[in-house]
Amino acid sequence: LAELEKLESFINRSPAVVFLWRAEPGWPVEFVSDNINQFGYEAADLMSGRVIWVNTLHPEDLPGLEAAVEKKREEGQREFSLTYRLYTADQETRWVETRILLINDGRGRLHQVQGIMLDITERQRIETALQAEQQRYQSLFTHAGASITYYDREGCLQMINPAACRQLQRDAAYLTGRRLEDFLPLDQAAATRQRLEEGLRQPATRTYEDEWDLPGGPCWFMSTFTTIHDAQGQALGVQVV
């Protein structure tokens, strides 16, 4: 009994909410840990049915949750994770991730569903913001009038926008992954590689003016070489605009 009390105390101090639902319409709650109060609900209200569990779920997510559980059951998967939205008692929307365990009875029929639920609202907000930022960057990269390229530490072209493809008169599928020497005149490739290596040795933003002999004829360019770093400050490659 003392060990069970310790375990219950540990669970209730953690952010993970433990559930046990009956595998019946409406997902009646047989047990929920007291730390469900982080969402404004009392465990006793959910277990007694005064608060109906499915009524706390976002109505757009409920059909998908039920379908996902049924699909996993049919596939014979007993353990899996589900991500969905629920409403707090104050009607605030939260994102949660629940680790599910399907429990069968003695005849192999689904009897109970066990869940360990975590609030991932902040993680979801950050991921959504990052996706939006990536989409904005991709739009700018694609529609920019200036040519933009990105080379890795070995001098291989890893990213190129449509404007740069037009200048080189090659498509991205051909150019991506190739070394400078594969698509630039040797003297131009050597000069560019020297600048890339300099940017990797001494990270900085440098601007150059050159006349390049391109497939469409000689052109003067002003190019800016910017070293790109990872989160630890390690130079990953060089962007050229």
Higher pLDDT, 149 or 231: 149
Q: Is 231 left (phi over 0), alpha (psi -120 to 50) or beta?
A: alpha
Dump pLDDT digits (tens) for 59-99: 999 999 999 999 998 998 999 999 999 999 999 999 999 99
Q: Are 210 and 223 in contact (CB under 8 A)?
A: yes
Q: CA angle 213-219-220, nearest 5°? A: 115
Q: Which of 54, 115, 116 is closest to 85 using CA atoms?
A: 54
Element (H, E) at 10: helix 2-13
Q: Using alpha carbons, list the distances in angstroms from residue 237 to 56, 140, 157, 196, 201.
A: 48, 20, 10, 8, 11
Residue 1 has pLDDT above 50, yes or no: no
Dump pLDDT digits (tens) for 136-166: 888 888 888 888 999 998 889 999 999 999 8
Dump pLDDT digits (tens) for 162-209: 999 988 888 999 999 999 888 888 888 898 899 998 888 888 888 988
Element (H, E) at 63: helix 62-74
Classify 217 as helix, strand or coil: strand
- In the prediction, which pLDDT does 239 show? 93
Tokens 């559930």 sit at which residue?
19
Q: Are 34 and 18 in contact (CB under 8 A)?
A: no
Q: What is the mean pLDDT of residues 100-126?
A: 91
Our CA dihedral for 127, 128, 130, 133, rounded to 10 degrees, sits at: 170
Is 0.85 topped by the overall pTM? no
Residue 128 has pLDDT above 50, yes or no: yes
Q: Which of 81, 100, 98, 86 is closest to 39 using CA atoms?
A: 86
- In the prediction, which pLDDT does 5 show? 54
